[in-house]
Structure 1
């Protein structure tokens, strides 16, 4: 009886152990299958090993693999754009989405403070989608209840570190949805050569450089004013000369007439003197007089066009007057003659408030953006901030909170002249950009090949100034 009992006990143990081992094998095989399903490249590699071994078709599989490899190489060599668009970029996007974002999303949200405790555990913002570009990834995020854009802006340094990005910026989309722009490459790291002068100028979209997403940076001239701020050597001249080269055909045919003011005695703008219809650099009185002449043209044009159009389209008979002021503070803050200073401030204020509609446009540059130096900087719809000294100066130029949104102009190295951030009226977020580098030889060449018409003042411009002088 004892022998039978011992045999039954041993049998039960062996059966139990066998069942446990079978269950463990099934669970392990299931986990292996799930792991392979989550990693298609590994699954493909396993199939390449298993199928030929079982079927004895190693030679056929080798032919197929070599054929696919040859096809991909030929595709890349003959049609590189198509290869990148339909194969390389989707593959790179798939790998980055899985390895960088989906795998680390919950941890990154918790560690950066974006996750919140809930009734059933920790709640994390929803990862809605990822768009991978060459230089940056754009991550669509569904915010949690009670969160705001400011919360994510404060977490940008932590988010950039979590996902291995150079920096992170936040863009609003729609209520409850935002985008994280995570930059992992920098197309602005190298000097950008000057673009060729176009055959025809587009005053609504003048190419001046490159954005940090690799696309061209264009600036609008018609219907706006432009303010450029940056310390010495930050690249203000690169923007000015890229603009002037971009509209050179319009300068040559008389559609745009450039009136330039150079308080530095001509050291900055004299290279392009033939492109300027009027040029003042010899004295503050001459520069203020030029500003007041522009006001006279603006007032006359506004009176004649009242009720006809809300935005004048320049022509050779009614050209755009583009006022280029190299160092604005020299006239509005540092000028020792108070009367001249007040006249300059009054003229610039009038031009900035009324000039856009009648195509009298101001492009001004300054080194010191403080309010006591440039009192009317808020009147410029388009603002560019290059390298600056402090975070507060960034907000002075671009608007309150722009430094917190990623416009780190105070951290731009001296080795990157022309790099800065731009804001326009209809966009909340600053855009990182770099202006093209224009050499002195290219400036001189452009001024010779696209010089302004010989006549200094024509038609209604001359008449308006004469009427102003008679009234005075």
Structure 2
């Protein structure tokens, strides 16, 4: 039934849309006048003739969905992206203005000219829906830095989504993923979501889950877990220990725990055959391990190491590893300890000694031996510089964004604790989350491995000597 008049809301929107349409174009008006004008038109149409609106609008929406290849869930965000693309590119630094004037023209064009004003910006190459949300592929004009189009925080605010991820698919092509629903990794990960770890030390270690719910595995290699305070590094350490638990139950693994702050390791001392908290204790353990590396090399030179209950894999868990250089007050003692640790990191893997370390500062000043860790897990970091240092050049372009992870706090239920990135064997950076290891979980793990962990830390030669006597 046709109504006699327009509701006040529709009339107000119509007047505002007209005013904005005839006003001079500027950054802020361009950002809102098109959406408001369309909204006013829809309101007027729906109020004036509800029958035709109800008949036509569903078909129009289906046509839009078909045209941009997105699910109905993503239609509002897709529309916002299309309508505000020009302005968002300008404000985020994604468009380059030749003379500083705001250009006008068709949205998404790679080059636009208005008199003497010229702008170069990316073109939307395609849209699609994924489990995570709306995927937008953009073509970057030749000559422009891809980093211009990786400003996720700007995009998230402009398009009304919680999170945006960006990565470079290929030269000149960037993929944006706009999370249109809840971030699946902001839900706690239960240990039951990881597959049962194998007792075979040649198999990868289940460590975390990705945002598709699939297990993320680590290789049996020196591993560095980096992250700011409260990012979940402790659970990262315990995830590795838990993944090696079946092999430890068979007597194939022994754990050594070092912790200069006496926090994580002290929570479950029964897991370790040896622990150290002071600088002297760290130095003593490093010296023993360096000697063990030499002994195993002399006895088994030219043969790949195979763990046995008599000669187990030694897994050295070091919390606050990036603070090691600061706990030694004496320079000579520090240099000697670092030299022993270098031997362990350089030769240990092939001789049955693996180091798993966690720390906050990825810089070379704090962690001079960082390059000897082939496997790095980056939880929340402070800035892009730390991301590049931790994960290497090219990590940002490949989609690793640990510096964009929100701070985990009591107010948000620690929603991002344990969220981070790790590089797979194929070179891809995967966003993942480790399960949280509670005090009760640690106590259970300690009970599980207590009969198998708290002994056999002796060097191979010492055991042989004892057996001979």
Q: Is the pair's TM-score, using the shorter chain for normalization, greater than 0.5?
A: yes
Give 1:289 deviation, angstroms: 2.0
C-alpha contact (below 8 Å) 1:206/1:221 kept by paired residues? yes
Change (3 A) 1:286 1:123: closer
Deviation string 1:403-449 (CA, Å, 9 cap, x unpaired) is 79632267524342623422337576754433222222221222112
| Other-structure match for 1:236 | 233
Tell me the residue number matched to 2:147.
150
Check whether the contact 2:226–2:379 (CA below 8 A) recurs between aligned residues: yes
The equivalent position to 1:324 in structure 2, one of 312, 317, 325, is: 317
- Secondary structure, counterpart of 2:401 in structure 1: coil
1:105 equivalent among 51, 65, 82: 82
Please show how residues 277-356 of structure 1 align to structure 2 within 5 Å: 278-281=273-276, 283-303=278-298, 306-309=301-304, 312=305, 314-356=307-349
Report the CA distance between 1:118 and its aligned residue: 5.4
**Closer, same or farther in 2 for the Cα pair 1:333/1:452, shift >3 Å?**
farther
For residues 411 and 260 of structure 1, what CA distance do their matches in structure 2 show? 30
User: Tell me, what secondary structure is at the counterpart of 1:436?
Assistant: coil
SS in structure 1 at match of 2:185: coil
Give yes or no for the alignment of 1:205 onto 2:204.
Answer: yes
* Match in the other structure for 1:255: 252
Give the match's secondary structure for 1:188.
helix
**Where in structure 2 are the equivalents of 1:371-386 lying within 5 Å?**
371-386=364-379
- Does 2:375 align with 1:361? no
TM-score, length-scaled by structure 1: 0.67
Bigger Rg, which one: 1
The CA deviation string for residues 87-139 of structure 1, in whole angstroms up to 9 with x for no partner, is xxxxx943246553377437425631355315899885242352411x33333
Residues 178 and 302 of structure 1: is their aligned pair in 2 closer, same or farther, counting only changes over 3 Å?
Answer: farther
* In 2: Cα distance, 1:421 partner to 1:427 partner: 18
Distance 1:191 1:333 in 2: 35
Indicate if the aligned counterparts of 1:381 and 1:424 stay in contact, CA closer than 8 A.
no
Which stretches in structure 2 are left out of the alignment for 5+ residues? 1-53, 96-108
Q: 2:8 corresponds to which residue?
A: none
| d(CA) in 2 for partners of 1:368, 1:143 | 34
SS in 1 for 2:161: coil
CA distance in 1, matches of 2:440, 2:391: 32
Residues 1:465 and 1:449: Cα distance change in structure 2 (over 3 Å): closer
Q: How does 1:44-443 map to 2 (within 5 A)?
A: 93-96=70-73, 98-101=75-78, 104-105=81-82, 107-108=84-85, 111-112=88-89, 113=94, 115-117=109-111, 125-133=123-131, 135-153=132-150, 155-184=151-180, 185-195=182-192, 198=196, 200-201=198-199, 204-211=203-210, 213-216=211-214, 218-222=216-220, 224-265=221-262, 267-276=263-272, 278-281=273-276, 283-303=278-298, 306-309=301-304, 312=305, 314-388=307-381, 392-399=385-392, 406-408=401-403, 411-415=406-410, 416=414, 418-424=417-423, 431-443=430-442
Deviation at 1:325, TM superposition (A): 0.8
1:22-61 matches, within 5 Å, as: 38-40=60-62
Q: Structure 1: how far apart are the matches of 2:128 and 2:339?
A: 50
Classify 1:281/1:300 alpha carbon distance in 2 versus 1 (closer, same or farther; 3 Å).
Answer: closer
Aligned length: 380
Pair 169,358 (structure 1): closer, same or farther in 2 beyond 3 Å: farther
Alignment CA distance shift 1:465-1:341 (3 Å): farther
Report SS of the residue matched to 2:334.
helix
Structure 2-normalised TM-score? Answer: 0.67
Q: Report SS of the residue matched to 2:126.
A: strand
**In structure 2, C-alpha distance between the alignment counterparts of 1:306 and 1:138, rounded to whole Å:** 52
| Distance in 1, Cα, partners of 2:392 & 2:453 | 41
CA 1:162–1:454 in structure 2 vs 1: closer, same or farther (change >3 Å)? closer
Mapped to 2, the partners of 1:323 and 1:411 lie a distance apart of 30
**2:270 and 2:453 in contact (8 A); partners too:** no
* Aligned-residue offset at 1:316: 3.9
Q: 1:409 to 1:285 in 2, by over 3 A?
A: farther
Aligned partner of 1:15 in structure 2 is none
Question: What residue number does 2:452 align with?
Answer: 453
On the 8 A contact 2:207/2:243 being kept in 1, the answer is yes
Is the contact between residue 192 and residue 435 of structure 1 (CA under 8 Å) also seen in structure 2? yes
Please, which runs of 5 or more residues in structure 1 have no aligned partner? 1-31, 43-91, 468-472
